[in-house]
Amino acid sequence: MIEAIQIWLSAALVIWIWSFVYKDNYLYRLAQHIFLGAAAGYSIGISLDSLNKTALVPLAKSPTTNMHLIIPIIIGLLFFFKYSRRYYWVARYGVGIALAVGTALAFRTAPMANIIRQVNAVLLPLWTPDPVKTLNNWIHVVITLSALVYFIFTVTPRVVEGRPTITYRLYDAVLRIGIYGMMVAFGATLANTIMTRLAFFISMNLQYLQPYPLESLSAIILVAIAILFAMRRARAG
């Protein structure tokens, strides 16, 4: 019995969520709120479990060796000052520390990931016996350099007396090459991602809908009624 409900619910929730593509309706709202409520509950559970495992239990077991764990607990508690009208500013310290940790994490890997590895990937021989490889390498280098120029915001040639100089025209051409190159790359990425999403769609269908046609059909009928109801309500005013 429980298994039957489980199967029906999985098929129904998938279809109800998908129904939003056509129109907002009560069954989508129901699925959305179940999802949101479950997510909120799950987050609280995971957070409490993490707090317990990484801070409270070690602190209770050996307070002297794990005294430093009090610091993150205090930082975490600072966030609750948001609810005080008088001391709400104290919460900023918590936010500031969280941001600083995140920025430091990003900063730590930036030179290696964003500069050295990228530069190394572009250092390709521009003259090779294979003409196709040569062309590929030239495209790679020119588009990378142009895209880099596109992202330079404060060093740009100026227009003198309303007339663009040769430097400006050259800069503009490089900028265009950069943006066109990026658009081609975006197109390829988009197609790739769409293929992945399509695979998700098919797997959802194979896992939750196709093996259970009756459950799926009943969910579709219910959602169709909900959409018709929503449309009638919208028409009425």
Partner 1 sequence: MNYLPVEQVINPAAGAVSLAILIFLSLSGYYYMKLAERGRTFPVRKIRAFEAIEEAVARSVEMGRPVHYTIGYGSLRTAHAPQYTAGLGVLTHVAKLAGKYGARLIVTHGVPEAIASIDEIVRDGYFSEGRPELYNPVDNARYLTDIQFAYASSAQAVIIRENAGANIVIGPFWAESLILAEAGTMVGAFQIGGTARDVQIPFFVLVCDYAFIGEEIFAAGAMASGDIPTLASIRGQDVGKLLSIVLIVLGLILLPFGVKLATYLMW
Q: DSSP string spanning 142-153? A: HHHHHHHHHT--
* Nearer to partner 1 among residue 60 and residue 99 (C-beta): 99
* Nearer to partner 1 among residue 2 and residue 129 (C-beta): 129
* Nearer to partner 1 among residue 101 and residue 217 (C-beta): 101
Nearest CA to 81 out of 72, 71, 90, 73 is that of 90
Tell me which amino acid residue 236 is. A
* Nearer to partner 1 among residue 9 and residue 82 (C-beta): 82
In degrees rounded to 5, what are phi and psi of residue 14?
-60, -50
Gap between the Cα atoms of 34 and 36, Å rounded: 6
| Shortest distance, position 168 Cβ to partner 1, whole Å | 12
| Shortest distance, position 1 Cβ to partner 1, whole Å | 28
| Shortest distance, position 214 Cβ to partner 1, whole Å | 26
State in Å, rounded, how far the first CA of the chain is from the last one: 42
The residues facing 163 across adjacent strands are 160
Residue whose tokens read 């279809």 = 15
The answer to whether 222 and 18 have CB atoms below 8 angstroms apart is: no
The answer to whether 171 and 157 have CB atoms below 8 angstroms apart is: yes
Q: Which two tokens stand for residue 135?
A: 């062309």
| Shortest distance, position 131 Cβ to partner 1, whole Å | 18
* Nearer to partner 1 among residue 4 and residue 179 (C-beta): 179
* Nearer to partner 1 among residue 52 and residue 118 (C-beta): 118
Residue whose tokens read 């227009």 = 159
| Shortest distance, position 228 Cβ to partner 1, whole Å | 18
| Shortest distance, position 11 Cβ to partner 1, whole Å | 17
Q: Which residues would be at the binding site for partner 1 (CB under 8 A)?
A: 17, 20, 24, 28-29, 31-32, 35-36, 38-40, 42-43, 64-68, 79, 81-82, 88, 91-92, 94-95, 98-99, 101-103, 105-107, 109-112, 114-116, 118-120, 122-123, 125-127, 141, 144-145, 148-149, 151-156, 182-183, 186-187, 189-190, 193, 197
